[in-house]
Amino acid sequence: MIEIKNLVKKYNDKIILNGINADISDGEIFSIMGPSGSGKSTFIKCLVKLVFPDSGRIIVDGEDVLGGKNEFELARMRRNFGYLFQDGALFDSLNVMENVCFGLRYLTDIESSKYERIAKEKLSLVGLKDIQSLRVSELSGGMKKRVALARAIASEPKYILYDEPTTGLDPVSSEKISELIVSMQEKLDITSIVVTHDLKLAFTISDRIAMLHDGKFDLAGSPGDLKKSEDPFVKKFIKDSICHDMKDVKNK
Amino acid sequence: MRYFFQQLGHGFIPLFKATGKVTLMVKSVIVWLFKSKLEFEEIIKQSVRIGSDSLIVVCLINFFTGMVLALQTGYSSKSLFNEPLYIGTIVGFSIVKELAPVLTAIVVAGRAGAAVTAEIGTMKVTEQLDALHTLGTNPARYLLIPRYIAFIVTLPLLTVFADFLGISGGFVVSLVKLGVPSTVYWNDIFTFMDISNFMHGFLKSIFFAFIIATVSFHKGLGTKGGAEGVGKATTDSVVTSMVLILVFDYFISAAFVFVGII
Ligand SMILES: Nc1ncnc2c1ncn2[C@@H]1O[C@H](COP(=O)(O)OP(=O)(O)OP(=O)(O)O)[C@@H](O)[C@H]1O
Ligand SMILES: [Mg+2]
């Protein structure tokens, strides 16, 4: 359970998050949508304290993340989280397998002899095979994203934060990713927080969708609530997203 | 007047900020040093990298410095006393106590220090450092500790090489150009120098290693703004390391003289 209370984040006096409130329950898939630059990445970085909020509270499983934590407590708290970075953030000094298994060494007791099998399994979950020994520089953009995804889920943490898991992927791979996120929830009861521009993804997988606008969550309800919403911003956002998708279809 | 002091004060703020950040960084390295296992493989990999990056340049520079020292002292001494006197002693003292440690440190700052800053800076701007935090480790533990140890082990070793090559350079010139017999050259060195002279330079190089590592890590971790930022951090890192090496060289030497390592 993650409780977020009145979260505020400024960058040089520019207010990005202006009092966010949300409760995310265990086993939920919670999506966050919103325009580019609205602070979605900033928000999920706050959850693992990669970005330090200016005020507000974040309580994970009853424990206040922001209150005077030392490095060890913070490190211990972060162990519960997997994080898919928007640009992948793969280690370019390591190969694909070493990237995928990187966290296992620090987060689990799994013997290193099993890493190869785990890497294969996680990569096949994201639709990749036979690339364990490639270097990161040899991967395409979409492959990087999926390797990063495999790395984020490898240790099966309790919470996984996905920053745009399907951006830059073809529809088939996107489909695979949305199945993956749902199956992680069903099989392992993993809580997912998904930042996305992909309306289809958000509508198919989410239990709730939040719309980030002017530093606040405009709406945090089920996909059905979102469709019915009378909020002008939400309506316009959905309409424009659909138009955008249609244009894509036409172009193809 | 008041304006002058205000400006002066403002000039010091970044310095204090940097000092604070460096202190925190070193503290976190020390804390994690006791909390986690050492990764020997990584330490060896980094040491080899630092050593092989700089070895050839270090040897070349010190050999020629030894040569030119012998040449200059030889001819100065000839014009004063009509014969080259104490060439070995002068070359030996200058190389072992001062030039080998300082020149080697400067080469390593320019080579390995710059490379480390660029590496860590790139990792910073591509969020790889953040990724370390989310994968159960952190930059101090995964990057800084092995590199600190690698710098502190490798630089003194390179300095020993440098001592040897500098003195050999001096030897070649005194033998060939000045006609000093080899026994005289080596005698000049070994009658007047002892292990404490060697330690003076050797121990200094450990401090220099610490300076180079700390500066390169600090600049790398503070990198902002994409590829351009990485370039800026790298040049900053090299310049800062070099200035600090030369400034601290005096103070460390003075401290060593004070405690009797001369
Ligand atoms: N380190 C930083 N320093 C200053 N401003 C920043 C920093 N990081 C982000 N910002 C600003 O914060 C705002 C929100 O950024 P954020 O990356 O959270 O947006 P986002 O919603 O994830 O956008 P996108 O959908 O394009 O990824 C942006 O206006 C950005 O300019
Ligand atoms: Mg973003």
Give residue-wise pLDDT tens across range B32-78. 999 888 889 999 999 999 999 999 999 999 999 999 999 999 999 99
Q: Tell me, yes or no, whether A168 lies in a domain.
A: no
The rounded Cα B228 to chain-centroid distance in angstroms is 26
What angle do the packed helices A115-125 and A141-153 form, to 10 degrees? 120
Distances (CA, A) of B22 to A74, A228, B27, B209: 20, 54, 8, 15
Global confidence as pTM = 0.92
**Is A87 contained in some domain?**
no
**Is A243 within a domain?**
yes
Name the pLDDT band for B248 (thresholds 50, 70, 90): very high
- What is the C-alpha R_g of chain B? 21
Q: How many domains in chain A?
A: 1
CB-CB contact of B155 with B212 (8 Å):
yes
Q: Does A92 sit within 8 Å of B136, measured CB to CB?
A: no
Question: What is the C-alpha to C-alpha distance for residues A145 and A143, in angstroms, rounded to an integer?
Answer: 5
* DSSP type of residue A135: B
**Domain boundaries, position A50:** 1-80+195-252
For residue A249, tell me if it sits in a domain.
Answer: yes
Residue to mutate, A33, A42, A84, A217, ligand 1, most ligand atoms under 8 Å from C-beta: A42
The residue to mutate among A12, A18, A38, A86, having the most atoms of ligand 1 within 8 angstroms of its beta carbon, is A38
A213 within domain boundaries: yes
Q: Is residue A95 in a domain?
A: no
Torsion, Cα A225 A227 A232 A238, to 10 degrees, reads: 130
The answer as to whether A147 is a domain residue is no
DSSP A112: G
Query: Which CATH number goes with the domain that contains A250?
Result: 3.40.50.300
Residues A170-205: tens digit of each pLDDT: 988 899 889 989 988 898 899 999 999 888 899 999
Residue among B28, B134, B143, B144 with most chain A CBs within 10 A, to mutate: B134
Q: Residues with Cβ within 6 A of ligand 1?
A: A 11, 16, 34, 36-42, 86
Q: Is A69 on the interface with B (CB under 8 A)?
A: no
Candidate from A71, A72, A89 with C-beta closest to B131: A89
Chain A, 133 to 172: residues with Cβ < 8 Å from chain B are 151-152, 155
d(CA A95, CA A152): 16
**Domain presence at residue A164:** no
Whether A246 shows a pLDDT value over 80: the answer reads no
Per-residue confidence (pLDDT) for residue A251, from 0 to 100: 66
